[in-house]
Amino acid sequence: MVMQRPETQRASHYALSRTFGALARSGLFMGLFCVGVSGTALAEDSTVHNWTTSGNVTVADRFPDVQASGIARLPDGRIVLSLPTSAQRHKGPVLVTWNPGKLTPFPDKAAQSEMISPLGMTVDANGQLWLLDEGVRAGSKAKAKPALLHIDPRTNKIVRRYAFSAPAVRPDSHVNDVRVDLTHGSAGTAFVSDTSQTTHPALLVVDLASGQVRRILEETVSVSPVPGFVMEADGRLGRYDATHPTVPQGGVDGVALSADSTRLYWSPLSSRRLYSAPTSVLADPNASEATLEAAVKDEGEVGIMDGMITGPDGSLYVTDIERHAVVRRAPDGALSLVAQDARLIAPDSMTFDGKSILLTVGQWARLPDFHNGKDKQERPYILVRIALPEDQTHATQE
């Protein structure tokens, strides 16, 4: 850009104003204006460049028959993927380790019969894997059997299964994501999101020593869909409707622990707001509902998110469904775009992988449930890698 001195600018503005005045009086100005508006646009006329891609997203793998959802990086570097069956059934294993072009049953082939529909997962501070099982397959009329599984990556064995039953879960429960806090409880505490298939979202708190499960904050503002909420998913607008959904919707979905495990963060799917509360309060079995509600903090608007992970510096990395993006929320609350790409149809779950983020990409908005029974999904499904700048590279932290 060539900058003009102030006196030159004033002279130019005066000359231009006289010229426009003359054109207007002659009737030529409107004609010239209309020609400018209706003329063929040139490439250089555009002020919007590459808005659909940030340039740091690459496809790490493609899956022709299965849609990955949960993802975690084990201490030895192995990447674990969950392949849920609640939306659509598929042949083969439901929990696997991933290498480019190869999926291997995890923890082994025999253990696959002990899982129904694995979904969210996390690795705790001791390197142990915790996996949520929705407990239901697509098309089944059987009662759901949701559970939390503890898997030891060192032995490749399922250590313990925590079955969820009433009153901790309801008939319409949909357990979604999990984080494990080892600073509260003799064996730690798990926090589970229950998105709910209808109108009863809540957080579940699991004492990992006793196996006791408490249902908290049910139907409160922080875990609930916003009434009348409108969102865009895969180019389609939909208003929240508990009885006839047209886009993915629901209550509390993604959850994350702060780097020091002192706070739990969460956000409802049908909302753009982020909430948090001290883990010391949430884990306290004697805390009343009034105390729990009073401890919740509204952290402000972020976006419509599904998955969420924490960096060692306290930053939250969240998926943004409407923007086909991943957003970073710095410890001071500042937001920045990490990645944006049209291929991120429904960005789902993430894990850090050294200098990058591995992200599962869903096509949940294209399921038949949202299109009057017509399947809009396009195979293959993808797993993507997002390169991070040097100042954002992290060791594994879930």
d(CA 397, CA 70): 15
The whole-number pLDDT of residue 44 equals 54
Spell out a b/e string for 205-240, using b for 16 or more CB atoms within 10 Å of the CB, else e.
bbbbeeeebbbbbbebebbbbeeebebebbeeebeb
pTM for the model stands at 0.87
Task: Specify the amino acid at residue 308.
Answer: M
Give CA torsion, residues 181, 282, 114, 155, to 10 deg.
10
3-state secondary structure of 89: coil
d(CA 182, CA 54): 37
Burial class (CB in 10 A: 0-12, 13-18, 19+), 370: buried
Query: What is the rounded average pLDDT for all residues in the chain?
Result: 90
The whole-number pLDDT of residue 331 equals 96
254-308 pLDDT, tens per residue?
A: 999 999 999 999 999 999 999 999 999 999 999 999 999 999 999 999 999 999 9
Task: Specify the amino acid at residue 35.
Answer: V
19-47 pLDDT, tens per residue?
A: 444 444 444 444 444 444 444 555 555 55
The Cβ-side half-sphere exposure at 377, using a 13 Å CA radius, reads 23
Query: Which domains occur in the chain, in start order?
Result: 57-392 (2.120.10.30)
Distances 203 to 19, 287, 316, 352 between C-alpha atoms, Å: 68, 14, 20, 25
The whole-number pLDDT of residue 346 equals 95
pLDDT in tens, the chain (398 residues): 434 343 444 444 444 444 444 444 444 444 444 444 444 555 555 555 555 689 999 999 999 999 999 999 999 999 999 999 999 999 999 999 999 999 999 999 999 999 999 999 999 999 999 999 999 999 999 999 999 999 999 999 999 999 999 999 999 999 999 999 999 999 999 999 999 999 999 999 999 999 999 999 999 999 999 999 999 999 999 999 998 999 999 999 999 999 999 999 999 999 999 999 999 999 999 999 999 999 999 999 999 999 999 998 999 999 999 999 999 999 999 999 999 999 999 999 999 998 899 999 999 999 999 999 999 999 999 999 999 988 787 544 45
Contacts of 329 (CB under 8 A, 6+ apart): 274, 302, 315, 316, 317, 318, 335
d(CA 367, CA 379): 12
The whole-number pLDDT of residue 312 equals 86
